[in-house]
Each structure stands twice: as structure tokens, then as C-alpha cells.
Amino acid sequence: MDSIVKFELTKELLERFSEALRDRDDAFIQSRLEGINPADISTILEEFSAEECKYVFDLLPVETDSEILNEMDEDVIEEFLVHFSSREIAQYVEFMDSDDAADILYQMPPKQREDVISALENEERAQNILDLLQYEEDVAGGIMAKELVKAYEKWTVKECIDEIRKQAENVEKIYSVYVVNDQEKLLGKVDLKKIVLSNDSVKVADIFDDDLVSVETYLQDVEVANLMQKYDFDAVPVVNARGKLVGRITIDDIVDVITETADEERQLMTGVSSDVEEDDTVWAISKARLPWLIIGMAGGVLGAQFMGLFREDIILIPAVAFFIPLITATGGNVGIQSSSIVVQTLASSNVFIGTMGKRLIKVFFVAVVNGAILSLMVFGLIILINKDQSLAMTVSFALFSVVLLASFMGTVTPLILNRLGVNPALASGPFITTTNDLLGLAVYFSVAHVLYNL
């Protein structure tokens, strides 16, 4: 087994590597990358231009190049592949699983995609890739791999083992053997352990397990991810509308889906309305950020106008204005905490009309406890610092009310958005913060108006 060199990307390494590329020091480049995991090599190459990356590729074995290419970010690959001929790309694709190859080809113009497929020497691999390209990228058919091990129910265990040896050459990891009938319809699966322990003459039909979960080609990738997380599957078979086995989805494919989904939700929660990267154009990044910044600005203007309604109250009791940041910040934080928990729950399961009442009651009591503790702390601090009992009562009571209201809004808003088919992650960002700021100000000044008898 080849040893893997422990890798750390340092400034010194990048400077030395850049120098080697400039001087065309092939010996250093090859020796420095020897034994390094392809994922780490891709990390190095992403720091350099596409032309420099191609130079490195030409120095490495084709199989290593295909693994590096498979580890690169999509945005980098798109720019990178422009510098390769269709025949060169086909060489890399020959060493990839069908799903990884399809991911690469998805990013090419149709003409170049066709040229790459026509340049493939392995006809079966070319057909597998063509089969995958007919599906959208975000459905089960688009993320599945065609490579799998299957056995026909009428086979004996000996025939099954012989076929496994043949099929396994193209399958990197074997989790189980899928069992089909003569029409290729999925019937179940049989574990490798059971195959090994069974007599050679035993029929596959007598030992396979028909209690098998499969997914249809049209199922959304996020739903597949939820299914595999829920049941802790390493792999799940994919069938078409007629129940025919057409591929499988493995856990490494789902990790990619989970990561992409988490990145999208994180961006939504921070007010970025579309998927952008740090190296995107200034306009692309600005366009993704501006919508919620504008909404936040509009909320701020509304808040200022709302405070103007209580101008006379502030003039009479200036100290009230000092605690506006406390009210708005606490309301925003409570709202984000509550909505984040609900969004996390929604992402991992389907919520729960039947238990919504119980959850709201629990949220209410949590808000009561947090609100009471925060209010008592603020009351004591204001008495200690300002020695103004009326002000302390106003701020603490308003803070308690805001915590209850913000907690309720943070819980209900993502549920409503989810029911409307809108990504609930929107509720955890500027949307809920701006809303709670306005509601917090309304509660605060209303309480002050009543308690001070203004």
C-alpha cells in the first residue's frame, strides 16, 4: 500500500512551488507531489492559474490527474478545462466513476461534451455517462453512479461469486450485491457475508433480503440525503419508473449534497441570496448580497420613522433611548436562535403538524425562562448604575416581552415559509432580524409610554 504524506499548505510551500513552476523545475514538482493525496494536490493547484495547473498535470500520471480533477471545485474546473483538448479530458474521464465523470461533463458546452464522450475508448463507460447526462444534476438520477454489483435471482452462489469478481473491477467499493430478475427489476439485496458463508449450490433467490429501500431517479438529491441520514445507509439503489435497477448512490455522493445544502443555507442565513464564491466577480457578489441589505436598510428607515412617533417621549426621558440597542440586539439574537433550531429540524425531517402545539408550548417556556433571567439581570444593573426604578421596570419588562415575541416569531416564521415552499433558512437571517427590530421597538416604546404615563 502506498503511504500518504502528511500535508500542510504553507506560504513557504506555495512560494517554492511557484518558483518551481516559473523555472520549470520538473524534478522538484514531481518529487514534492509524490505520495500526497490528490485532494491535497488540488488544494495546491487551486492557488495557481489554469495554465500552470495544466503544466503540473502533464507531469503526473493520468490516473492521478483524474483524481485531482475530481477533487477540484466546480468553478475552478470550468476555467481549467478550457486549456485541455477533448481527447485529453477523455483520458481523465476513463479513470472516473460515471457519476464523477458526468459532474465534469455537466460543466462543458454541449459540443465539447459530445467530443469528450466520442473520444472515450470504453463503450460501456461512454453509455453510462450518456445515461446520467439525461437527468438533472439535483435529482437521484443525476448523482447516482452506474457502477454496481448485481446478481440474478436464478444464479447459484458460485455463479454469483464469479460474476462479482468480474463486476468488481469497475466498482471501487462494494457495500452489497443487488438482486434482479430477468427483466432487470430490483428484487432486493444480499450481503457479502451471507454469500461467503453459503454453499456454492445455494440459489441467490433463497438468501437475498427483499426488505430493501430504493429511490426513484426523479427524487430530489436533498430528499435522498435525508433518507440516507435517517436510516444510516452507506448506499441506496436507484430504480426507474418501471422498477428497473439503473444505479446506486453512495455515502460520498451524499456528503457532497449535504455540504452544498449547508453552504446554501448558511448563505441564506447571512443574507446572500444566491450561491457565490470569494473569487466570483465583484458584480456577482454584490448582486447576491444587495437584496437583503436593501431590505435591512428599509427596515432601519422604518425603525427610525417609528422612533419618530415617540420623539416627545424620548425628549422627556432621554435615558429611554440609551437602551434601544439592547432591546433590538436581544430580540434579533433570540429570533435567530429560535429560527436556527427550527431550520435544522426541518432540514433533517418533515415537521410535524401533529406535534407543533407541543413544540410551541416548549418554545414558550424556554422563552419565559430566558426572558426572566435576562430581565432580572438588566433590572439589577440599571438600579445599580442609574438608580432609576421606573427606567429599570420599563427596560426589563420590555426586554421580557421582546424575548417572548422574538422567540415566537423565530419559531413560527420558518414553519410558515416551509409550508409556502420557500427555503426556511431565509427566516434565520436579515428577514427575522429586521422584523424583530421593528417589533422590539414597538414593544419597548409602548411599554415606556404606559409605565411612564406619557
> What DSSP assignment string belongs to 116-176?
HHHH-S-HHHHHHHHHHHTS-TTBHHHH-BS---EEETTSBHHHHHHHHHHHGGG-S----
Please tell me which residue, 281 or 318, carries the higher pLDDT value: 318
Same fold? 150-260, 282-451: no
Return the CATH number of 11-134, one of 1.20.1250.20, 1.25.60.10, 1.10.10.10, 3.30.1020.10.
Answer: 1.25.60.10
Q: What letter would DSSP give residue 37?
A: -
Taking Cα atoms as reference points, which of 374, 391, 403, 383 lies closest to residue 320?
Answer: 391
Q: Classify domain 150-260 at the CATH topology level.
A: CBS-domain (3.10.580)
pLDDT of residue 271: 56
pLDDT tens-digit series, residues 384-413: 888 888 888 888 988 998 899 888 888 888
Every domain of the chain and the residues it spans: 11-134, 150-260, 282-451
Check pLDDT > 80 for residue 277: no
CATH of the structural domain 282-451, one choice from 3.40.47.10, 1.10.357.20, 4.10.95.10, 3.20.20.70: 1.10.357.20
Burial of 438 (0-12, 13-18, 19+ CB in 10 A): middle
pTM of the predicted model, to two decimals?
Answer: 0.65
When mean pLDDT is compared across 156-170, 173-187, 422-436, the lowest value belongs to 422-436
